[in-house]
Each structure stands twice: as structure tokens, then as C-alpha cells.
């Protein structure tokens, strides 16, 4: 453990017990670490590593059955682990402040931003109403919110995700806390917004000398912002040290494995692409209209604006873009979950945009989709095997044969075939995404549309699923439309990449060319925003 001078927070042998029936007895096993004033410490780990539990344990905000059962948390000479509730309330907000992952749900939807920031002063200080108002405006200016006066009056839903997170940061810094705990504060944000928020945190940290405990799963973010790194696995600290040492010379095998799993930004050498085009999109458009009464005051959103793309047989076409760029709408149009307004979607000579509902139902076996959320996209009341076999059964395969095929598919996607009798909740996130993939493959599609299929997964699991997609593509001759917001993932798996912004494709071409030599200003901005860009670029492509 590297020596920390003048620590502001010292965690000493902290253990947190989980309720009976959890997958392990302790969320944290004797964790020790320290943060000194004026430094940013990143805590890295995958889901279930106990990093968020640690943050909540410091604040004593653990849910009912989860409790600290050993160790000390020393903050300004006081042991928070044994402090009374009244003492804790004085520390929360004023001494240690916290920002959370999801800026939409972390703010009360029914109260204005200014009101919620002002509450900090109301409970911890004796300031008058007008003083509080002035302070709130000052804070909002500090976090560079456009039009602070308007923002203070706004409700959370009236601000964008990035602005909400700025408001959260303003609230956390209201009372100049000595320590700021940031629990995955940029994970839910777009890459360009993330870059801005990271810059803001760094700027405020150096201006106010606040210590920051930054929890993340993303090594790119670590490379961008951290002074020191603490790596956690299964509730233990496996490695900690200065950011340069850990990133370039990781000692613990788990750290090495995590860093190896981070997809680098450079694309692997291009594969030979077939001349045979399996899927052609020609001027596909989709416009949403909502609101309005008898044609008045209609809000028109051009979700997809005349997109034309070609997918060669056996190739992978990546569609990348930020939220609201129309990439998911395009995916849904391709498999006709929604009807495009215009254009042609030609698959094997048939124009999907013009098929009737009935025909689409019959033809869906040629094109299948894998969805983003492995938790929500599987029916929790049906067995995994049934979910996979359902498609073929609907399309006329006898039940026994479909179940046998399901077993075969389970083996193909790396699951135990005997697991077909289990329910979705008995699988982990990565396993569920494999079930989703098996379900899509059950109909033997020619084209697979994967909508953010690996975005909800931990890096190591993400790497496994990507590897499996690679293998399946070779073995089954699949053509894939791969939709993602993560440029690093796209660089790994896609032969061709199309960059979307506001419903339009602004740039498309071979992955290596788009990432190596971006032409459009937006692509350049996207690439520049990737956290820890130099770190990602310096690494060799994973050979899969």
C-alpha cells in the first residue's frame, strides 16, 4: 500500500455483512484505504465487487439488512462506523457529499432544481432565503449550466442528462465538503457529455481542494481522471497504487485481466468483405409526431432522416451514435418492430419496408434482434429453454425438436445445456445475454440486429460475449448490424461503421478508416471525448 500523507479519510479493515441468503456472507472483507485532501482516488471493479457498498458504508446509507460489522471509517478524527445518527447527519452533505449514477432518478421529480440545492443550506446553515438564492445561482454558475436563473426554476425533467448531473454536482459542492464521493457519475451519460462532466469534476476538485472518491467500472475514466487507483474484487482490495503504475504495470492477475478486457480504440486489420450485399437500406426515414390537437401544435421529431447503408454478406456493420441519434429507431425499422415512413429495406430481394404485418411475421426468421437489457428482455415466468424454443415452435417446428435445438444452441453460446429448465433470474447478466442471443439464433437468421447488446455488461463479460459473437459470425456466416454508443466496442467487432447524429448518417466506411482518420467534425469530437483516449489508443487490438 502506498503511503498517504495527511489522509482526510481512512478506511481501516472495514467489513460489511450481507443478509442471509445472499451469494456471499460479506459485501466487504476488511477493506483498508485512505484518501488525502486534494487527490482523486478511483475505485475500480466490476458489478458485485463491493465498490458501491463501500461508498454507501462511508455515508452510512446502507439498506436495512446490510450492516457494517467491523472496522473503522475515520473522517476528521471521528469514526463514522460507530457515530450516532445525529452525528452522521451533520457529516452528510456538509463534510462528505455524494453524487450518484442516474441523474434523472437521483433528483426529486416534483421539486425545482434551485429548491433542492437550496435545501442543503436550509438544513446545514442559518442563511436567509435571499442569501440561499444567491448562493444557489453562484453554484449553478460554477458548474457551467447555461442560463443558471432558468435552471434554478426548472424541474429535473426539463434539463438534459448532462445538465442534471451538473446540478447534482452543484448540490454536492454547496457546502464545500472535504470529500466528494462520486458513484459512477458519468456511466449513464453520452460520451461527449461524460467528457465534459469529467473535466468539470477535475476543475472543481483542483479549485476547491476537495478530495474525490470516484467509483467507476471504466478504466478509460480512470486513465482520464485518477491520481491513484484502488482495484476491488469480491469485496476485497486486490491492488492499489498511483494511476501510472497500475495501468502500465498491473501486479495482481485480476487487474491484469480487467485491463486486458478493455477494448482498445484501434480496429483489428480489416477482413475481406463479400461483394454480395445481403441488406440494403435506401433512404429509410422515420418521423414521430406527438402532441397537438386537430393538427395544431404538433411536435415533429425526425428520428431517422433518409439513411442509406449496405451490409455485405458475412460482415458486421456498426451503427454508432449518442442517445437520441436515432440508431435504435433505425434498428427497430430494420426488423419492422416499427414501420418506417419511407425508403426501402431490401433483404434477400424482398423490400421489408413494404411487407404487410402478416408477411413480416412469416419472414422474421430471416432477421432477428438481440436487445440491450438482459434483465428486462426475457420473460421472468418462462424457462430459459422455452424462451429459446418458442420462436421455432411458432414457425412450425415440432416441440420436441425445438427443445433439442434449444439445448444445442445453449452449447453453442457457451451455456450448460441442462440449464434450459432454469428461469431467467437464475442466470447472471452475461449468461442472460447469451440466452437472448440463443433465442435470436434459434430461427437461424441470416441477419442479426444487436441493439446495445453488450452495453449493460461488465468489461470482462463484455469481452467474452464479443468473442463469442466473433466465433458465431465465422461459424454460422452471420451478417450483423451492431448498434452501440461505445466506440471502443464498435472498433473491436465491426467491419464497417456508420456514425449517426440527429437521425442522419454523418460518416460511414471501413472501421479502421473511420476511427483512424475521421473526416466529419462530429466523429472527431466523439473520438476525442473517449475517456482515457491515449490509454485506449496506445493498446494493441485484442486478437480474437
Partner 1 sequence: MRILSLAGRRLAASIPTLFLILIGVFLLLQFAPGDTVDAMMAQMGGGDAATARELRKFYGLDLSIPMQLGNYLWRLIRLDLGFSSIYGKPVATVILERLPPTILLMTASLSFAFFFGLLLGVIAARGVNKWPDTLISTLGLVFYATPSFWFGLMAIVVFSIYLQWLPAGGFEDIGAVQTGFGRTIDIALHLILPTLTLGLIFLAIYLRIMRASMLEVLNLDFVRTARAKGLDETRVVVKHVLRNALLPMVTLIGLQAGTMLGGSVVVESVFSLPGLGRLAYESVVQRDLNTLLGIVFVSALLVILVNFLVDLLYARLDPRIQAEA
One residue of 1, 22, 61, 544 binding partner 1 per CB under 8 A: 61
One residue of 8, 35, 106, 137 binding partner 1 per CB under 8 A: 106
Using rule CB under 8 A, residue 298 touches partner 1: no
Helix ranges (H only) for 364-493 are: 384-394, 399-412, 429-441, 459-476, 487-493
Alpha-carbon torsion, ordered 173, 178, 181, 185, to 10 deg: 30
What are the helix and strand counts (H, E) for the chain? 20, 20
What residues between 322 and 381 interact with partner 1 by CB under 8 A? Answer: none
Q: Pick the stretch among 18-26, 87-95, 141-149, 218-226 that binds partner 1 (CB under 8 A).
A: 87-95
Residues paired with 345 in a beta bridge? 281
Using rule CB under 8 A, residue 212 touches partner 1: no
Q: At what angle do helices 399-412 and 384-394 cross, to 10 degrees?
A: 120
Please tell me what DSSP assigns to residue 264. P
Triad 54, 56, 62: Cα angle to 5°:
110
Size of the site for partner 1 (CB under 8 A): 30
Q: How far is the CB of 110 from partner 1 (least distance, A)?
A: 5
Q: How far is the CB of 306 from partner 1 (least distance, A)?
A: 29
Using rule CB under 8 A, residue 293 touches partner 1: yes
What is the Cα–Cα distance from 265 to 252, expressed in whole angstroms? 24
Residues 6 or more apart whose CB falls under 8 angstroms from that of 261 comprise 459, 460, 462, 463
Q: How far is the CB of 295 from partner 1 (least distance, A)?
A: 15
One residue of 50, 71, 93, 374 binding partner 1 per CB under 8 A: 93
Using rule CB under 8 A, residue 21 touches partner 1: no
One residue of 54, 91, 113, 536 binding partner 1 per CB under 8 A: 91
What is the Cα–Cα distance from 113 to 37, expressed in whole angstroms? 29
Q: Pick the stretch among 37-45, 100-108, 184-192, 347-355 that binds partner 1 (CB under 8 A).
A: 100-108
Q: What is the three-class DSSP state of 446?
A: coil
Using rule CB under 8 A, residue 123 touches partner 1: yes
Q: Pick the stretch among 101-109, 140-148, 300-308, 424-432 that binds partner 1 (CB under 8 A).
A: 101-109
What is the arrangement of strands in the sheet containing 26-36, beginning at the earlier edge strand? 26-36, 7-17, 67-75, 78-79
Using rule CB under 8 A, residue 98 touches partner 1: yes
Using rule CB under 8 A, residue 28 touches partner 1: no
Question: One symbol per residue from 143 to 172: x for binding partner 1 (CB under 8 A), - otherwise; what is it?
Answer: ------------x-xx---------x--x-
Q: Which of 158-178 are b and which e, b meaning 16 or more Cβ less than 10 Å from the residue's Cβ?
A: ebebbbbbbbbbbbbbbbebb
**Pick 157 or 354: Cβ nearer partner 1:** 157
One residue of 82, 108, 209, 401 binding partner 1 per CB under 8 A: 108
Using rule CB under 8 A, residue 20 touches partner 1: no
What is the Cα–Cα distance from 515 to 490, expressed in whole angstroms? 10
Q: How far is the CB of 123 from partner 1 (least distance, A)?
A: 6
Q: Pick the stretch among 71-79, 117-125, 301-309, 436-444 that binds partner 1 (CB under 8 A).
A: 117-125
What is the Cα–Cα distance from 484 to 447, expressed in whole angstroms? 17
**Pick 32 or 160: Cβ nearer partner 1:** 160
Using rule CB under 8 A, residue 132 touches partner 1: no
Nearest Cα neighbor of 15 from 50, 45, 48, 42 is 50
Q: How far is the CB of 437 from partner 1 (least distance, A)?
A: 31
Using rule CB under 8 A, residue 65 touches partner 1: no
Nearest Cα neighbor of 339 from 319, 354, 321 is 354
Nearest Cα neighbor of 13 from 26, 28, 35, 3 is 28
Using rule CB under 8 A, residue 81 touches partner 1: no
What residues between 30 and 59 interact with partner 1 by CB under 8 A? Answer: 59
Beta strands 447-451 and 367-370 are: parallel
Q: How far is the CB of 157 from partner 1 (least distance, A)?
A: 5
Binding residues for partner 1, per CB under 8 A?
A: 59, 61, 89-94, 97-98, 100, 102, 105-111, 119-120, 123-124, 155, 157-158, 168, 171, 291, 293
Amino acid at each position: 500500500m502506498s503511503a498517504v500523507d495527511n489522509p482526510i479519510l481512512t478506511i481501516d479493515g472495514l467489513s460489511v455483512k450481507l443478509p442471509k441468503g445472499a451469494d456471499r456472507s460479506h459485501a466487504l472483507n476488511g477493506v483498508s484505504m485512505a484518501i488525502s485532501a486534494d487527490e482523486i482516488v478511483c475505485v475500480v471493479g466490476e458489478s458485485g465487487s463491493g465498490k458501491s457498498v463501500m461508498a454507501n458504508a462511508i455515508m452510512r446509507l446502507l439498506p436495512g439488512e446490510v450492516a457494517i460489522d467491523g472496522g473503522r471509517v475515520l473522517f476528521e478524527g471521528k469514526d463514522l462506523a460507530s457515530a450516532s445518527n445525529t452525528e452522521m447527519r451533520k457529516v452528510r452533505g456538509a463534510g462528505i457529499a455524494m453524487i450518484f449514477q442516474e441523474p434523472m432518478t437521483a433528483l426529486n421529480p416534483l421539486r425545482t432544481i434551485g429548491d433542492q440545492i437550496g435545501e442543503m443550506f436550509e438544513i446545514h446553515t442559518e442563511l436567509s432565503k435571499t442569501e440561499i438564492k444567491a448562493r444557489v445561482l453562484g453554484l449553478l454558475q460554477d458548474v457551467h449550466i447555461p442560463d443558471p436563473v432558468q435552471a434554478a426554476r426548472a424541474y429535473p425533467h426539463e434539463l438534459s442528462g448532462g445538465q442534471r448531473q451538473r446540478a447534482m454536482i452543484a448540490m454536492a459542492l454547496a457546502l464545500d465538503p472535504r470529500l466528494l464521493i462520486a458513484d459512477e457519475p458519468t456511466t449513464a451519460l453520452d460520451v461527449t457529455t461524460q467528457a465534459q462532466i469529467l473535466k468539470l469534476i477535475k476543475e472543481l476538485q483542483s479549485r476547491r481542494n476537495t478530495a474525490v472518491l470516484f467509483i467507476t467500472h471504466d478504466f478509460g475514466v480512470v486513465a482520464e481522471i485518477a491520481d491513484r487507483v484502488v482495484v476491488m474484487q469480491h469485496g476485497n482490495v486486490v491492488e492499489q497504487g498511483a494511476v501510472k503504475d497500475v495501468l502500465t504495470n498491473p501486479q495482481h492477475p485480476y487487474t491484469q485481466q480487467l485491463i486486458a478486457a478493455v477494448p482498445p480504440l484501434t480496429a483489428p486489420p480489416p477482413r475481406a468483405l463479400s461483394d454480395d450485399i445481403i441488406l440494403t437500406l435506401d433512404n429509410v426515414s422515420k418521423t414521430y409526431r406527438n402532441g397537438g390537437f386537430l393538427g395544431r401544435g404538433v411536435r415533429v421529431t425526425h428520428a431517422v432522416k433518409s439513411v442509406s447503408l449496405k451490409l455485405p454478406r458475412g460482415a458486421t456493420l456498426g451503427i454508432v451514435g449518442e442517445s437520441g441519434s436515432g440508431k435504435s429507431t433505425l434498428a427497430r425499422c430494420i426488423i419492422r418492430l416499427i414501420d418506417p415512413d419511407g425508403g426501402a429495406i431490401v433483404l434477400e430481394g424482398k423490400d421489408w419496408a413494404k411487407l404487410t404485418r402478416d408477411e413480416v411475421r412469416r419472414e422474421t426468421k430471416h432477421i432477428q434482434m438481440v436487445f440491450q437489457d438482459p434483465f428486462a428482455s426475457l420473460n421472468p415466468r418462462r424457462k430459459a429453454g422455452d424462451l429459446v424454443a418458442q420462436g421455432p415452435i411458432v414457425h412450425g417446428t415440432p416441440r420436441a425438436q425445438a427443445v433439442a435445438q434449444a439445448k444445442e444452441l445453449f452449447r453453442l453460446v457457451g451455456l450448460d445445456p441442462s440449464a434450459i429448465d432454469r428461469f431467467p433470474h437464475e442466470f447472471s447478466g452475461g449468461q442472460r445475454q447469451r440466452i437472448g442471443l440463443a433465442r435470436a439464433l434459434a430461427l437461424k437468421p441470416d441477419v442479426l440486429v444487436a441493439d446495445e447488446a453488450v452495453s449493460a455488461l461488465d468489461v470482462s463479460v463484455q469481452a467474452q460475449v464479443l468473442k463469442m459473437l466473433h466465433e458465431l459470425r465465422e461459424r454460422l456466416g452471420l451478417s450483423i448490424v451492431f448498434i452501440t454508443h461505445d466506440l471502443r466496442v464498435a472498433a473491436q467487432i465491426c467491419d464497417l461503421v456508420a456514425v449517426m447524429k440527429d437521425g442522419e448518417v454523418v460518416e460511414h466506411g471501413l472501421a479502421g478508416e473511420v476511427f483512424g482518420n475521421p473526416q466529419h467534425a462530429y466523429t472527431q469530437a466523439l473520438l476525442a471525448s473517449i475517456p482515457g483516449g491515449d490509454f485506449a489508443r496506445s493498446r494493441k487490438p485484442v486478437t480474437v
